[in-house]
Chain A
């Protein structure tokens, strides 16, 4: 009876320790969340949409303005739309837009490397360009940036300028948030939780099955166990060589075409194209 009580107490203690570990992780996450700094929104005075080329209606401009402001607040980065008809393209367009960003925008203050990005459209040259700076440059890969531009560009090509600009705003906002997000302890713990659960279930099943089956006694005798004096006689041994066959094979060399290296977390600062 004493032994049974002792074992039961041990089991209860073990389960209690496991519960304690679980709850400590949740507690740590709660503390981290409560110590997070408050989010500061952007000022009301910025114009997030500069439609010099008049490709947007007033209503569309207003809606886009609200969208950009909300997205800027969420991403902690000014997201701006600029349209013009100067015939700018390439590096000229890049320099022009970057100058605007650095002098008039920046979520946490203007200047070089300010937290801002712009989608510029030149109706004369039919060029579109995303210019990034600060967190928008460091947190989005070049391939991602190109992809965002191409998706918006496809709408511009159909004359849907509002659609293209709003697509840009939503995609760039998501990309910046994903790129800058630092997962909390709770998020790290529960990341891919369903997969972890399945793996744990599968492993526990296998281990339990092995424990159930691992009760069989094994045969410990060998072929030599009952051989008298552990000796046998090889009365005759013949190893006769017959012939040799040869096969020949060409070794295939794989042509190494090394693809472009990935940028890791950042981009070059711009992505341009035509619609």
Chain B
């Protein structure tokens, strides 16, 4: 098993994926190369080497050490030779010594090879700025969380998702009524028209996501949605350069129920939405069927920052494509007290001044 570094064809330094240009970029010589073009370049080198040497091309990759436990694996960094220790799900990481990005290729091959990826659109600086702006908006949020020692821990990670396609149908029965009131003289007449309603609605759902990582909380990943699937591209390993990533913990069947129930709820609500123009509607029967069409494995970008405040852990997530923030906001008791007193004084002054004019 090997860890791989994408090296610059110009100067040989390690390359990272640049979210601004959406290309692999070399920090040393400034070379930018498209991920697809880089793949072609490697394949050309490979076939050229094999033709010349009649040997199979072996990438200049570090070797698997063999020294590992069930949950941890050890590799060698291709750049400096240092040992990289990863858990069994990590597929992209950084060398702790030289800082170069490394890919664990075997965790991106075969059944673990993603079908698609949405490359990062938001770079680290933008993520840090978004975090700091979010901190400022919280009146009671402690400002000490803007320290560089906290901020520099922000990490870009490709989270494994399963995307499900469904065909759904709902057959709904309901009773509805329409009420109108007429006044004649001293009497009020209430006319209630009763109706029996039936609807048969079907829809196809495209790429309902469910995160397949055990480490990522499902509720937070759901709130990061939606991702813009227009920017979903065929997976190339080059997109992972410079970011962390993981392979899935759960296969498609294991977490399917979550997305199926979402599809059921959506088709029910859509069907109910077609019953309009009535004063009240009571649904007395709903037969919903959802059938699988397809599922695909994709890596979606997320910026993540974990921090501690008052011995409590907090997490901050940004959708690495759209910039949507999902986070817990810690509360500073000191700021809370000052805020309370300030608001109290302001309201009291307003009430007292109001008494002058009443």
Chain A residues packing against B (C-beta within 8 Å): 11, 14, 18, 21-22, 25, 185, 188-193, 196-197, 199-201, 203-205, 207-208, 211-212, 215, 217-221, 223-228, 231-251, 253
Contacts and interface: CB of A to CB of B under 8 A. Distances in A.
A249 B198 contact: no
B325 A227 contact: no
B256 to A, nearest CB: 15
Q: Which of under 10, 10 to 19, 20 to 34, or 35 or more describes the interface residues of B?
A: 35 or more
Interface in B215-232: 222-223, 225-226
Contact of A211 (B270, B339, B355): B339
A196 B352 contact: yes
Contacts of A215: 138, 327-329
Interface stretch (B29-37, B188-196, B247-255): B188-196
A236 B269 contact: no
A227 B197 contact: no
B355 A223 contact: no
B326 interface: yes
Contacts of A248: 187-190
A230 B6 CA distance: 40
Contacts of B197: 238-240
A205 B349 contact: no
B226 A220 contact: yes
B327 A217 contact: yes
Contacts of A234: 199-201, 274
8 contacts: A196-B355, A197-B348, A200-B345, A205-B340, A221-B225, A228-B204, A239-B197, A248-B189
A239 B341 CA distance: 59
Contacts of A25: 352
Contacts of A188: 355-356
Contacts of A14: 342
Interface string B201-241: 11111111000000000000011011000000000000000
A238 B346 CA distance: 59
B76 to A, nearest CB: 41
A197 to B, nearest CB: 7
A246 B226 contact: no
Specify the main secondary structure of chain B where it touches its partner. mixed
Given A242-B194, A245-B192, A232 B201 contact: yes
A247 B188 CA distance: 8
Contacts of B326: 217
B223 A233 contact: no
A243 B194 CA distance: 5
A236 B223 contact: no
B344 interface: yes
A232 B270 contact: yes
Nearest to B175: A242
B20 interface: no
Contacts of A236: 198-200
A178 to B, nearest CB: 18
Interface in B244-282: 262-263, 265-267, 269-270, 273-274
Contacts of A22: 349
B183 interface: yes
B329 A18 contact: no
B226 A235 contact: no
A153 B353 CA distance: 43
Contacts of B338: 11
Contacts of B341: 204
A18 B343 CA distance: 12
Given A208-B339, A228-B206, A18 B195 contact: no
B191 to A, nearest CB: 5
Nearest to A208: B340
B80 interface: no
Contacts of A237: 198-200, 274
A199 B351 contact: yes
